[in-house]
Structure 1
């Protein structure tokens, strides 16, 4: 693999057969056109920013940095045009992008827990690459992405009920290098940056303060809302079978 990353030479013209006029070209021994499917695994790290909207605590923003591993399946389709490869690709899997921090509450006897849990993730992207050797493709990609992990802000006061975020949706962009190790099996290394957008959460008072505790004056049913934004970076390695 080090030879692919460090010592690859651009393919000469006689290693390719076909032209744009003739239709998709076929590199001798390696045909990039067609369907493929496989699996991937990697590491992910990111940032969450939380803003409180209705008072109760300082509005922030408050930030923390979740991280973890992720993996899943990949499928796509390529069209090869001489040294260019154009395609669509989708990923679906589980991302353990989790972490948390604490912030002060309005009452110094309590605090607020900020957390993000792991969840399903996926993306659908367009891909454009150039062959630097018959078996080696360097490419960029970008498109839609989602993350179903729940972000939550929760006070340690026992008479408040938190509601976490819905599914984050946004975009992803990145690139990588892919290399055939046999005429039908390829491996790749890829970097992606995710902007998952923001989602809202809340905390609702559902009862009065327990006996012996001073009530904060908030009426039962009142809500304190927050907005949570999420972005992440990842590195992954994958293997695919081409049909």
Structure 2
């Protein structure tokens, strides 16, 4: 009987010790998971994406509707930002810059058939500064929205083939507008995360003076209305 009691006591002690070890391991695991999934801090990142900018043109700032075209292409960019995690909410700010090769054009006929006029848009860079508000649907998965300011660098050309008053002018312009977007970011491990996001950008209308010093001896004022849609995927490193 004494031997049975001793064996039972030893088994209970062993079970209790094992349970304590499991609890301790669980606590350590939770702590490590929380540490890995912490979203507070700053980060740098890189992205690849696609963008499409719509340009609507009004010739002579109201004289004639020049139609519209889409300048589209791929871009590569970098970003830097900082976040603060408050429970399941994440607040932050992020700045981005993307080098692009967007280009597009359209033809129209202000005089009549046989004498087309062409307008073209080329985009070399887009930059943004945005606030970010996100919600953690999982310790490692952040869904977020953004909003802020955007800056774009465009080159517009206008080529009129009408014999009497042929014109071939261009202008480079830096525009400021607003940007809103949605995205998702997933924490992988050791400070690394992957993300995907969409942004809508509106630069409004602006009258620009195109200069032609060769064919047409004067300047030409066109009104440009620009909006853009941009998609990006990328990788962040948080430190």
TM-score tier, shorter chain, comes to 0.7 to 0.9
Which TM-score applies when normalising by structure 1?
A: 0.76
Matching residue within 157, 174, 181 for 2:188: 181
- 1:81-129 deviation line (CA, Å, top 9, x unaligned): 1111000001112122210011124375532111011211100000000
- The 3 A distance-change label for structure 1 pair 208 and 238 is closer
Matches within 5 A, 1:151-230: 151-156=156-161, 160-203=167-210, 206=213, 220-221=217-218, 223-230=219-226
Q: State the superposition RMSD in angstroms.
A: 2.6
1:84 aligns with 2:84: no
Q: Which has the higher helix share?
A: 2
- The 3 A distance-change label for structure 1 pair 61 and 112 is closer
- The 3 A distance-change label for structure 1 pair 60 and 75 is same
Deviation of 1:162 (Å): 1.1
Matches within 5 A, 1:133-152: 133-152=138-157
Tell me, in whole angstroms, the C-alpha distance in 1 between the residues paired with 2:212 and 2:233. Answer: 46
- The 3 A distance-change label for structure 1 pair 83 and 208 is closer
Segments of structure 1 that go 5 or more residues without pairing to the other structure are 1-14, 18-25, 210-219
Tell me, in whole angstroms, the C-alpha distance in 2 between the residues paired with 1:116 and 1:170. Answer: 17
The answer as to whether partners of 1:72 and 1:92 remain within 8 angstroms in 2 is: yes
Deviation of 1:205 (Å): 6.5
1:235 aligns with 2:223: no
Deviation of 1:16 (Å): 8.7
Tell me, in whole angstroms, the C-alpha distance in 2 between the residues paired with 1:97 and 1:208. Answer: 27
Larger radius of gyration: 2
Segments of structure 2 that go 5 or more residues without pairing to the other structure are 1-28
- The 3 A distance-change label for structure 1 pair 226 and 182 is same
- The 3 A distance-change label for structure 1 pair 148 and 132 is same
- The 3 A distance-change label for structure 1 pair 85 and 103 is same
Deviation of 1:157 (Å): 5.6
Which TM-score applies when normalising by structure 2?
A: 0.78
